[in-house]
Amino acid sequence: MVSITIMMDEFDEFDDFRDRQSTIGVDGSRVWVYPKKPKGKLYNYRKQVSLVLLAVFFVLPFIKVEGDPIILFNFLERKFIIFGVMFYPQDFHLFVLSMIAFIVFVVLFTVVFGRIFCGWICPQTIFMEFVYRQVEYWIEGNNSQQRKLDASPLNFNKFWRKGLKHVIFFLISVVTVFFFLAYIVGIDRVGVIISEGPSANIPGFIGLVIFSLVHYFVFAKLREQVCIIICPYGRLQGVLLDRNSIVVSYDHKRGEPRGKYNPLQDRQAAGKGDCIECGSCVAVCPTGIDIRNGTQLECINCTACIDACNAIMQRIKKPEGLIRYASESSIADHVKLKINSRIIFYSVVLSGLLILIAFLFSIRTEIESTILRQKGTMYQEYDAMHYSNIYMIQVINKTRDPLPVELKLDEPENGVIKMVGNPLVVEKGQLGEAQFLVIIPKAKLHSSNTKVEFKVISDGKEMDEIKSTFVGPDALDREKKD
């Protein structure tokens, strides 16, 4: 757990936050959090960001580029489309490097800006705070009404409110899971699954029910426990953050010593800080912590406490920002953002990775082709003047159109290619293969292994160049034959 140690000696009486998590009672049972609905400038910004991200999530599956989804992560068929660019198993190195670059970016971002991602962009927070929690406020009322309802015995009021809430929660989960599925198999396939009904695809239907139940369980029951206990990113905060990281912080220099508000009292003259112990920052916290205890593992940087405290500061005519985005060193020592060796190291690694990815992307071909001599075959005497070898070509078409494939023998001169069967045309995203003969005049063969060089051509455009060998009789055999 990361904590601002500077406050420890001064405020031992507030120490028990370090003995257990905010949502675990002294007897080890779960403490249910009833956060007050936040209000304020940052909350409004977060709401706008969330609405945009939710709209993107639900609209993207319907957007297509030349008939294909703009985003697809089809793990089952190992087909990936990212912003219209198709990736295949052969591009796995690009995928792995992109993932590594993303992780380094997240680490760098966290070192500098803390856990801002969790509060503003993380799907868990967005769905929890701006979808499920909104339904809960709408049906069960504000946080104290929710608390009362939970404490009350089962009666008609409790029954219908709880029942309706959980039915809506489950329906939202089902819809969300269908949209998640659309990112895997495409929205058209999801439409087919829905229209065909469960009986046409029983395993798929069971999978959807299980995922919907898991999704429902996460938001109806697990909630902030995902951020506190399960999320690996959350668990990593302790090693990623340092005194220079900008996180949601309480300005203890300004706020302490805290004390109740008395409008008739001059707080400065009375030796009191700006914190009036109103508890508003704690009441709105979705993970149930008191940010005045310092940065804690549970804090998802949602900024609800900033809004709550700013509202109080306005009311008592004090400057806003008693709780704000700030680093520990900026509060304790008034040090502005320091570019330390960690930031430089991660920046260099990230830049290197991005350059490498850009380079590999620029040399990425539209087809992936291999040519191998047909297994188990040797050379054939094609006629009195020529030998032949039989080859197999395999082509993966990464473009969006059918790809007619022609082959040209670049070396040796005077060799001829004869396709076996129909000309090769590879459908988009498919693997096509064909056999062909290479026929070379005997006079041009000077050893048993002659280098051959092919050009793979489509619509007059050279797509690839492949080297192979042509097997012929060795010199002794040839002499005997001659």
Give residues in contact with ligand SF4 (CB under 6 A).
248, 250, 255, 275-281, 284-287, 289, 291-292, 299-305, 308-309, 312, 322-323
Q: Give the C-alpha separation, 441 to 445, whole Å.
A: 7
Q: Which residues contact 64 (CB under 8 A, 6 or more apart)?
A: 70
User: Considering beta carbons, is residue 246 or 323 the nearer one to ligand SF4?
Assistant: 323
Is the Cβ of residue 177 or residue 305 nearer to ligand SF4 in the bound state?
A: 305
Least distance to ligand SF4, CB of residue 38, Å: 8
- Residue reference for tokens 């990361």: 2
In the bound complex, what is the minimum distance in angstroms from residue 283's beta carbon to ligand SF4?
Answer: 8
The distance of closest approach from Cβ of residue 234 to ligand SF4 in the complex, given in angstroms and rounded to an integer, is 11
C-beta of 150: minimal distance to ligand SF4 in Å? 21
CA dihedral 72, 74, 75, 76 (to 10 degrees): 170
The minimum distance between CB 138 and ligand SF4, in angstroms, equals 21
Nearer to ligand SF4, 218 or 275 (CB): 275
How many CA atoms are closer than 13 Å to the CA of 298, on its beta-carbon side? 21
Which of 383, 351, 388 has its CA nearest to residue 101? 351
Cβ nearer to ligand SF4, comparing 17 with 105 = 17
| Shortest Å, Cβ 250 to ligand SF4 | 6
**Nearer Cβ to ligand SF4, position 91 or 129?**
129
Closer to ligand SF4 by CB, 176 or 237: give it. Answer: 237
CB of 121 to ligand SF4, least distance (A): 14
What's the min distance (Å) between Cβ of 109 and ligand SF4?
17
**Cβ-based nearer residue to ligand SF4, 185 or 300:** 300
Give the residue with the Cβ less far from ligand SF4, 300 or 445: 300
- Separation in Å, CA 277 to CA 240, 298, 341: 31, 21, 39
